[in-house]
């Protein structure tokens, strides 16, 4: 943390969060669809060059943790991005959530050096599939839910890959609205790149990179301090979804929470296997619910970045419906299962610190 006293570090942290908020404002004001423009079902974030989330606008809680797992899996497919590259992806099994959530990712280069990434994720109101809106209640496989976009370069060295865009727009019901929303996401990335360049002028490229990592270390220390204040032990809880939409059988979430010193672990052993319906969730949805719930338990003012989860370990049994594998249907995993996940986690936390935990929610994002 050399070169970053607490005040200077806080100035940088707030500047980064303001940048993410400004990215979100640009996205909102330039988007075509009401789902983004009015409902603000979107998020914008800044990542280190090593793909760790360092700042995010807190627009949609379910995106908080899922964006954490957005960039690294994408880069494992594409390789490091060059200046002017922009990747598009919505594949739930590669850093995504469900198909309507399309993510754009771009690198930030300062003096020819990659120092960060910026990303925007937005829920597009149609991405194809068996029903308008791409949230079919009766889907049993992901192919019925819409167009799957693996990580591909929408822009390469600043040049639009028109064939990629054409492929996307040809497979949706409202192509001009999709074009407008994608351009809005791109505008959000551009303002993020510009503001990061301004911060590099202020702090220097080396100082900016050092500051990004110092912010993560600072958040980790705060989280560990909050966890250390809590009672130590093991707590077990469970809850369920009434059904998966294709049968009347409940779908169980079983959880063991362990607190030791300044660390916490979540073990979902015993959770129901993948189901035929579309309430299956990919693993980032678990991280999302944990991230949100942990802030409620510990300190809501904790910066929303990857440092929050450094003291956290998670075990999700392979094959359970919280670690869905291709080609399971997942569209409701993002909207329904995450809510029941959060309720289950908070139910466990209520045994640890009952004075800090509220009652369960209505259990759905769809009102």
Which of 203, 219, 235 corresponds to the end of one domain? 219
Q: Is the preceding peptide bond at 89 cis, omega within 30 degrees of 0?
A: no
Q: Is 238 found in the same domain as 209?
A: no
Question: In terms of pTM, does the model score above 0.75?
Answer: yes
Q: Is 49 found in the same domain as 165?
A: yes
Would you say residue 364 lies in a domain? no
DSSP 8-state code for residue 210: H
**Could you tell me if 75 and 122 are in contact, meaning their C-beta atoms sit under 8 angstroms apart?**
no
Residue 329: pLDDT band with limits 50, 70, 90: very high
- Tell whether the model's pLDDT for residue 1 goes beyond 50: no
**Could you tell me if 193 and 108 are in contact, meaning their C-beta atoms sit under 8 angstroms apart?**
yes
Q: Is 324 found in the same domain as 248?
A: yes
Reference 284, options 69, 107, 89; nearest CA is 69
Q: Is 309 found in the same domain as 164?
A: no
Segment 95-143, tens digit of pLDDT: 889 999 999 999 999 999 999 999 999 999 999 999 999 999 999 999 9
> How far, in Å, CA of 305 to CA of 323, rounded?
23
CATH code for the domain in which residue 158 is found: 3.30.450
- Tell whether the model's pLDDT for residue 2 goes beyond 60: no
CA 333 remoteness from chain centre: 13
Which of 219, 235, 253 corresponds to the end of one domain? 219
Would you say residue 140 lies in a domain? yes
- DSSP for 32-52, written as a single string: SSHHHHTT--EEEEEEETT--
What mean pLDDT value characterizes the chain? Answer: 95
> Reduced to 3 DSSP states, what percent helix, strand and coil does the chain have, rounded to the nearest 5?
40, 20, 40
Segment 41-53, tens digit of pLDDT: 999 999 999 999 9
Please tell me the least confidently modeled range out of 32-41, 66-75, 77-86, 101-110: 66-75
> How far, in Å, CA of 269 to CA of 314, rounded?
10
Reference 323, options 238, 253, 263, 261; nearest CA is 253
**Could you tell me if 57 and 118 are in contact, meaning their C-beta atoms sit under 8 angstroms apart?**
no
Q: Is 243 found in the same domain as 154?
A: no
Q: Is 133 found in the same domain as 199?
A: yes
Would you say residue 26 lies in a domain? yes
> How far, in Å, CA of 126 to CA of 177, rounded?
9
Would you say residue 365 lies in a domain? no
Segment 241-275, tens digit of pLDDT: 999 999 999 999 999 999 999 999 999 999 999 99
Would you say residue 302 lies in a domain? yes
Task: Tell me which H or E stretch contains 240.
Answer: strand 233-241
> How far, in Å, CA of 25 to CA of 171, rounded?
28
Q: Is 271 found in the same domain as 176?
A: no
Would you say residue 91 lies in a domain? yes
Q: Is 207 found in the same domain as 336?
A: no
SS (H, E, C) 246-284: CCCCCEEEEEEEEEECCEEEEECCCCCECCCCCCCCCHH
Number of residues written out for the chain? 367
Domains contained in the chain, number: 2
Q: Is 247 found in the same domain as 184?
A: no
Question: For position 366, what pLDDT does the model report?
Answer: 63
Q: Is 97 found in the same domain as 202?
A: yes
Would you say residue 249 lies in a domain? yes
Reference 165, options 102, 245, 108; nearest CA is 102
Q: Is 276 found in the same domain as 185?
A: no
**Of 103 and 358, more confident:** 103
**Could you tell me if 23 and 193 are in contact, meaning their C-beta atoms sit under 8 angstroms apart?**
no
Residue 361: pLDDT band with limits 50, 70, 90: confident
Q: Is 329 found in the same domain as 247?
A: yes
116: which strand partners?
48, 108
Which of 196, 219, 242 corresponds to the end of one domain? 219
The domain in which residue 330 lies consists of 227-356
**Could you tell me if 28 and 22 are in contact, meaning their C-beta atoms sit under 8 angstroms apart?**
no
> How far, in Å, CA of 172 to CA of 177, rounded?
10
> How far, in Å, CA of 307 to CA of 52, rounded?
9
Backbone angles phi, psi at 271, to 5 degrees: -70, 150
Would you say residue 367 lies in a domain? no
């Amino acid at each position: 943390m050399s070169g970053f006293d607490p005040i200077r570090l806080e100035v940088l942290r707030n500047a980064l969060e303001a940048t993410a908020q400004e990215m979100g404002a640009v996205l909102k004001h330039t988007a075509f669809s009401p789902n983004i423009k009015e409902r603000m079902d979107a998020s914008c974030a800044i990542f280190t060059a090593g793909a760790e989330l360092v700042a995010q606008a807190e627009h949609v809680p379910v995106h908080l943790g899922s964006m954490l797992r957005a960039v690294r899996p994408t880069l494992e497919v594409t390789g490091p991005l060059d200046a002017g590259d922009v990747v598009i992806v919505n594949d739930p099994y590669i850093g995504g959530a469900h198909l309507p959530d399309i993510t754009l990712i771009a690198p930030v280069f300062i003096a020819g050096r990659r120092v960060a990434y910026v990303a925007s994720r937005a829920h597009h109101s149609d991405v194809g599939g068996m029903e308008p809106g791409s949230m079919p209640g009766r889907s049993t496989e992901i192919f019925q839910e819409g167009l799957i976009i693996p990580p591909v370069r929408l822009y390469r060295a600043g040049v639009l890959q028109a064939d990629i865009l054409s492929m996307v727009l040809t497979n949706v019901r409202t192509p001009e609205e999709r074009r407008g929303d994608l351009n809005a996401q791109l505008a959000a990335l551009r303002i993020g790149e510009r503001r990061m360049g301004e911060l590099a002028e202020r702090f220097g490229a080396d100082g900016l990179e050092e500051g990004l990592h110092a912010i993560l270390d600072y958040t980790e220390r705060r989280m560990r301090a909050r966890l250390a204040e809590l009672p130590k032990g093991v707590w077990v809880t469970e809850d369920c979804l009434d059904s998966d939409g294709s049968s009347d059988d409940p779908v169980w979430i079983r959880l063991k929470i362990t607190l030791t010193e300044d660390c916490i672990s979540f073990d979902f052993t015993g959770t129901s296997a993948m189901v035929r319906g579309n309430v299956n969730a990919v693993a980032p949805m678990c991280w999302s619910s944990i991230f949100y719930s942990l802030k409620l338990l510990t300190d809501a003012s904790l910066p929303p970045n990857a440092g929050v989860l450094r003291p956290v370990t998670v075990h999700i049994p392979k094959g359970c419906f919280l670690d869905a594998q291709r080609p399971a249907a997942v569209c409701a995993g993002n909207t329904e299962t995450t809510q029941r996940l959060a309720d289950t986690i908070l139910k466990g936390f209520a045994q640890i610190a009952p004075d800090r935990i509220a009652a369960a929610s209505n259990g759905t994002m769809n009102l």
